[in-house]
Structure 1
Amino acid sequence: MAADGLWNWSVAARVEPDLVRGALAGALEQPVHELVPGESALLCDVYQVGGDFPTVVDVFLAPSGVAEETIASAVAVRLRAAVLLPDDTLNPFRYVLAEPDGTLRPVHVDEQETDDGPERRRVRPCNRCTPECDRSRWKPGPTPERPAAA
């Protein structure tokens, strides 16, 4: 499986690194290692911060043959905890939320950078609040001003 780059997620629970790596390995059906110099396999760094999503997961050498949101959704189900992952807009506060039941939906999050890493709080549904939200493949939910198409 070819490597593509970096995935950066946040989990809505304090989860031990071994459990995160195990969930990721199960979802990808391949070994996942902590950061070890010289390793060429999938690498995963897990650390704790504050906020509503206190476990940060960085996946290095992420495979290019699978959709990130598919794997994040499978990991959320395995961990029984929501996972935030970046969406396809340039809005730094808009994410895709992979819920513990596997559902994927766009959300907005308050974020604050700290010495320990990014703290993310106050998740709320995306309701067409910016022009880039409408252009995303992750469509915002309906609002009273703009109901869903029938």
Structure 2
Amino acid sequence: MTELWNWKIDDRMTVAEVSTALADVLGLAVVSMGAADPARLPLDAVVCDVWLRPGEFPTSVDCYGIPDGVPEVGVIAAFARRLGRPCLFVDDTLDPGRHLLVGSDGTIRPVHLDVTEDDDGDVLSNLRLCSTHSPRCRAWSQCHQSQWAPDSVVPALAAA
């Protein structure tokens, strides 16, 4: 249980909405970071921190204590479908502006966003698909070295 998942949601969501959806998807207890008493947590509880920021994806979600072997891709696809909201998570390029967009139907595709910092952290804007039609993606090797190549789309059934 060492993984940390960090996601963003394209709408303002409450801690209760996020925790309920995550608990439904995982089938585990989900406890808000602010309410987490380490001495009283169930052994299989997931701790979830939710906060709001400006930008196109204003709700940030950090999940701690994910059980080993639980695939993030499948969980976030089910989570986005459960919320009915697109979500973002980081891809494998380590580029802060490249993410994976999970549609409200669970479909996953690589995207780029502009990242600026303010007092609340990173602010994401200007969402655009990672595509070979873009000169930047065509010329940038990190897009092509990713397991999520430009123009790739993983349908909802394959993702969950």
Q: TM-score, normalised by structure 1?
A: 0.87
Alignment of 1:1-150 (within 5 A): 3-35=1-33, 36-38=36-38, 39=41, 41-128=45-132, 129=137, 130-141=140-151
Give, in whole Å, the separation in 2 of the partners of 1:134 and 1:64: 29
| CA distances 1:24-50 after superposition (whole Å, capped 9, x unpaired) | 111111111001131352100101101
Q: Is the 8 A contact 1:76 1:102 kept in 2?
A: yes
Q: Which runs of 5+ in 1 are unaligned?
A: 143-150
Bigger helix fraction: 2
Q: CA RMSD in A?
A: 1.4
Structure 1 residue matching 2:2: 3-state secondary structure: strand
SS of match in other structure, 2:57: coil
Runs of 5+ consecutive residues of structure 2 not aligned to the other structure: 153-160
TM-score by length of 2: 0.82
Q: Any idea what SS the aligned residue of 2:54 has?
A: coil
Q: Percent identity?
A: 40
Distance of 1:8 and 1:46 partners within structure 2: 10
Whole-angstrom CA distance in 2 between matches of 1:12 and 1:77: 13
Residues matched between the structures, number: 140
Moved over 3 A (4+): none
Letter in 2 for 1:10: K
For the residue of structure 2 that corresponds to 1:8, the secondary structure is strand
